[in-house]
Amino acid sequence: MQEIAPVAPDAQDVVVAAYRYQSGQPAQALDIHHLPAHDPLKDGFIWIGLKDPSEATLREVGAQLGLPDNAVEELIAPHRRPKLLEFSNCLIVVAVTLGLKDLRPLFGTTQILIAHGLLLTVRRGSNSSYLELRSRLESTPALLERGSDFVASELLDLIVDQYQTCLEQTEKAVEAIEQQFLIRGFKENDVRRIYRLRRDLLRVYNAVTPLAELSRRLSRIELAYVDAESRAYFGEVADRIARTSEFINSLRQALAFAFEGGLMIGQMQQTDTTRKLAAWAAILAVPTAVAGIYGMNFKFMPELEWTLGYPLALGLMGSVCGFLYWKFKKAKWL
Mean of pLDDT values over 289-312: 74
Mean of pLDDT values over 17-41: 81
Mean of pLDDT values over 76-94: 89
Digit-coded pLDDT (tens) for 188-219 = 777 788 888 989 999 999 999 999 998 998 88
**2 touches 38 (CB < 8 A):** no
What pLDDT shows up at residue 1? 37
- For the cut 80, the answer to whether the pLDDT of residue 13 exceeds it is no
- For the cut 60, the answer to whether the pLDDT of residue 240 exceeds it is yes
What pLDDT shows up at residue 41? 66
Residue-range domain boundaries for the chain: 15-264, 271-296+303-331
Pick the CATH number of 15-264 from 3.40.50.80, 3.40.1030.10, 3.30.460.10, 3.30.460.20: 3.30.460.20
What pLDDT shows up at residue 292? 79
